[in-house]
Structure 1
Amino acid sequence: MSEQIDIAEVSGKGDLNAFIDLAYRLNADDPNWVPPLKADMVELLTPGKNPFHEHAKVQLFLARRGGKVVGRISAHYDELALEQPPEQGMGPGTGNWGLLEAEDEAVSSALIARAEQWLREQGMTRVLAPISLSIWEEPGLLVKGHDHPPMIMMGHHKPHYEGWIEGQGYAVAKRLFTYDLHNVADGFPPIVNRIVKSGERNDAIVVREVDKSQFEREAQIILSILNEAWSKNWGFVPFTETEKAYGAKKLKPLIIEGTNMIAEIDGEPVAFMISWPDINSKLITMKGKLFPFNWVKLLWWLRNPQSPGFRVPLMGVVKKYQNTRLASQLAFMMIEYIRRNAVSNHSAKRAEVGWVLEDNQGMVAIADAIQSKLNREYRIYEKRL
């Protein structure tokens, strides 16, 4: 007879450390898993440090067997997500679980059942999962692309989790794609270059680099466009003012001059595109620790990163230009300017665009036009409670 699985709420610093440490043990044999910085994980999960907790309720659980920690999961719901229209994916009664790690399927099943029980107790009637913790952080389960490390802020999960989750009655709610661009030094197809040159002849259009010396102003422009441009997207949850300030502070070191763009029409900011150097290529060797010397290495690298990979995680166009030729033109101009600077100044060789919702026809068309290839797929699952 197999030993009993005991599941308990995380309580105190010791449990929190055990919750965080488990992922490092269970993924130690995967050469493509990138250990997150432990300090970042503590910050993510701690009320008062991560402003997500200001409008969300989160409960962490640990599974033990014979006194040994063998699994973990978070259960949570976001008050702002509950206020969104149901047709956009979230809405009243929708809770989440995430951060799943388990030694075997029995542990995974017990953890998911406990998370579902907690969500029912909170009045939730439906689950979208895995989401860890916010939709803006690491949504979805990796089901394609296990053969290479993820780029910054992309999840990486064991292949068998897919079957374990679907075995608990979960159906796919949405697929999220990332697209890979090899040999970015070679440039884009002629049709894209013609679209870019056409935009450059339009005096009303200005595509400029984000000015890091005016970072607070630029961050407000980008986040304001993002909140407005994405407000009708599936899964959208707005940023609070506190989250805007927090996110800007966290991401400022990753904003490299020349690889982030704002597009203006007649002087009005109407679109943006950001890209980050692949800091995971450095983190993968650090085993989650900044001290004693890794923090110096990381700061030095970020001063002028020579990164073979860049990720374009976000772009947005204000609503009045969405679904127009101008929106595509602005996108092509921004990504071409980013490509040029990343190659010439930072030794970029490849790029990754995403994630992209499977039914975002505009972004899928852009990915096709620049001849990128789908290289990673994430799934967000749903289940009625």
Structure 2
Amino acid sequence: MAVEIEELSGEKALTEFVQFYDRVYESRPIRWTAMQALELPMLTGTSPFAEGRTIRPLVGRDGGQIVARCAAAVDQRYLDHWGDDVGHIALFEALPGTRDATRQLMDEACGWLASQGMTAARCGFGLGEFPFAIDSYDDLPPNLVRQNPAYYHALLKDAGFESEKGWVDYKIAVTHELVERWQRALDGAAAQGFDIVPLRDVPKDKLVGQFVDTWNVAFDRHWGAAPFTEAEFSLLLDVLGPLGMLDLSVLAYDGDAPVGVLWVNPEMTAMAVASEGREVRDDERLNTLGIGVLPAARGKGVNLAMASYAYLQLAGQGYTHVSYTLVLDDNWPSRRTGERLGGFVCANYMVYRRNLRGR
């Protein structure tokens, strides 16, 4: 049958869009489930994550059934920040054997982006999602990190995309020696006058503003990043705060001024779906981590101290492994931080780009 490309709207249709994720991954021995609580409101336009973004959810149907999906997006916050006329294609998922459907889906998405003045389409980093895994396919990654099938790369390349930016993922095996190293890093920052404060202890009237301001300045020149809003962070606080985020995430202060930010979500493997006989391994019970330091405070150990605080908390809870999570291939300051904390590369990831002119 001929593939039909369709733009979806309305809660029922968009729920089908979101839940298609589970159909793609249902044969996996262990997997995460669709993040409907966050994705559906964004697609319906009722979430803070939809503000400043024009999002067009698209599906490819064969015989009436969805076989591929994506969301084409013009992110005005991103464009105002970078001014590079790059549009985004997010939430791509597809069944095996869908080369033609994926090509038609991406042609529709990219044609629309071009009509909006975009000169390129980025797939795999935008609207809050992480890049595509290019190895380690059988492991359960930290929650929010992609667990895509290996065949996605051929589908995307056949649909006109090229590799744009590589990433690495760092994992750390907790040892007595590393616990001592982390404590020294924390003590060293304190000796220099820096105060590492868990978010649970930051005054509520200052928490959101200080976190978002510090995050946005720290990530101002980070490749591909779009400014975060207070409304977005407030929503994530409501969702993730009760799960332990407030205990593990920190702000670093020099006097009364925030100079660093650490965002750590605890491991959530209780939410993973596993087939009979497939247990969650200890080295899969991993946090996610994002870290940033203001330019004036870099090179003073603030980064090591913030991460060390979270790792000491996790080690004290009995975790045998912790995650430094994703880092750009060429972000050597952050990669060296991960290595100094004891990390080793455990997986690799890729962001794709399709140029909309001159192909």
Quick check: TM above 0.5?
yes
Q: Helix, strand or coil for the counterpart of 1:83?
A: helix
CA contact (8 A) 1:72 1:100 kept: yes
Distance 1:165 1:363, change over 3 A: same
Distance 1:142 1:195, change over 3 A: same
Partner of 1:301: none
Among candidates 215, 229, 233, match of residue 222 of structure 2: 233
Question: Is residue 246 from structure 1 mapped to residue 262 from structure 2 by the alignment?
Answer: no
Question: Is residue 69 from structure 1 mapped to residue 41 from structure 2 by the alignment?
Answer: no
Q: CA deviation at 1:44?
A: 3.1
Partner of 1:372: 343
Tell me the distance in 1 between the aligned counterparts of 2:94 and 2:119. 25
CA contact (8 A) 2:250 2:262 kept: yes
Q: CA deviation at 1:197?
A: 4.2
Tell me the distance in 2 between the aligned counterparts of 1:58 and 1:257. 31
Q: Any idea what the Cα deviations from partners look like across 1:341-385, whole Å, max 9, x if unmatched? A: 2222x2222111122122211110011222311122221111211
CA contact (8 A) 1:307 1:347 kept: no
Once structures 1 and 2 are overlaid, which stretch shifts more, 256-265 or 158-167?
256-265
The letter of the residue matching 2:337 is I
Distance 1:27 1:256, change over 3 A: closer
Partner of 1:81: 78
Tell me the distance in 2 between the aligned counterparts of 1:75 and 1:174. 19
Partner of 2:49: 52
Q: CA deviation at 1:187?
A: 4.2
Q: Any idea what the Cα deviations from partners look like across 1:139-172, whole Å, max 9, x if unmatched? A: 3212122121121221221111012112233222
CA contact (8 A) 1:216 1:248 kept: no
The letter of the residue matching 2:164 is A
Partner of 2:34: 36
TM-score, normalization by structure 1:
0.82
The letter of the residue matching 1:120 is A
Counterparts of 1:307-346 in structure 2, within 5 Å, are 309-322=285-298, 324=299, 326=300, 329-344=301-316, 346=317
Aligned residues: 348
Q: Any idea what the Cα deviations from partners look like across 1:73-110, whole Å, max 9, x if unmatched? A: 1111101111223xxxxx34211112122222222222
Q: Helix, strand or coil for the counterpart of 1:114?
A: helix
Among candidates 100, 103, 121, match of residue 92 of structure 2: 100
Tell me the distance in 2 between the aligned counterparts of 1:218 and 1:60. 34
Partner of 2:330: 359
Question: Is residue 285 from structure 1 mapped to residue 255 from structure 2 by the alignment?
Answer: no
Partner of 2:279: none
CA contact (8 A) 2:209 2:230 kept: no
Tell me the distance in 1 between the aligned counterparts of 2:42 and 2:259. 31
Q: CA deviation at 1:7?
A: 0.8
Question: Is residue 381 from structure 1 mapped to residue 352 from structure 2 by the alignment?
Answer: yes
Partner of 1:172: 163
Tell me the distance in 2 between the aligned counterparts of 1:29 and 1:308. 19
CA contact (8 A) 1:177 1:357 kept: yes
Tell me the distance in 2 between the aligned counterparts of 1:72 and 1:159. 17
Q: Helix, strand or coil for the counterpart of 1:84?
A: helix
Partner of 1:199: 189
Partner of 2:278: none
Tell me the distance in 2 between the aligned counterparts of 1:336 and 1:123. 44
Q: CA deviation at 1:311?
A: 2.1
Q: CA deviation at 1:36?
A: 2.6
Q: Any idea what the Cα deviations from partners look like across 1:215-236, whole Å, max 9, x if unmatched? A: 4522322221101111111112
Tell me the distance in 1 between the aligned counterparts of 2:246 and 2:123. 35
Among candidates 121, 143, 148, match of residue 152 of structure 1: 143
Q: Helix, strand or coil for the counterpart of 2:172?
A: strand
Question: Kindly, what percent of the aligned residue pairs are identical?
Answer: 20
Q: Helix, strand or coil for the counterpart of 1:144?
A: coil
Once structures 1 and 2 are overlaid, which stretch shifts more, 159-168 or 209-218?
209-218
CA contact (8 A) 1:32 1:146 kept: no
Where does the alignment leave 5 or more consecutive residues of structure 1 unmatched?
A: 86-90, 288-305
Tell me the distance in 2 between the aligned counterparts of 1:121 and 1:22. 28
Q: Any idea what the Cα deviations from partners look like across 1:49-78, whole Å, max 9, x if unmatched? A: x12322011111121112222221111110
Distance 1:11 1:261, change over 3 A: closer
CA contact (8 A) 2:89 2:109 kept: yes
Aligned Cα root-mean-square deviation (Å)? 2.6
Tell me the distance in 2 between the aligned counterparts of 1:98 and 1:37. 14
Q: Any idea what the Cα deviations from partners look like across 1:297-343, whole Å, max 9, x if unmatched? A: xxxxxxxxx99834242111112123x2x0xx122222222222222
The letter of the residue matching 1:339 is Y
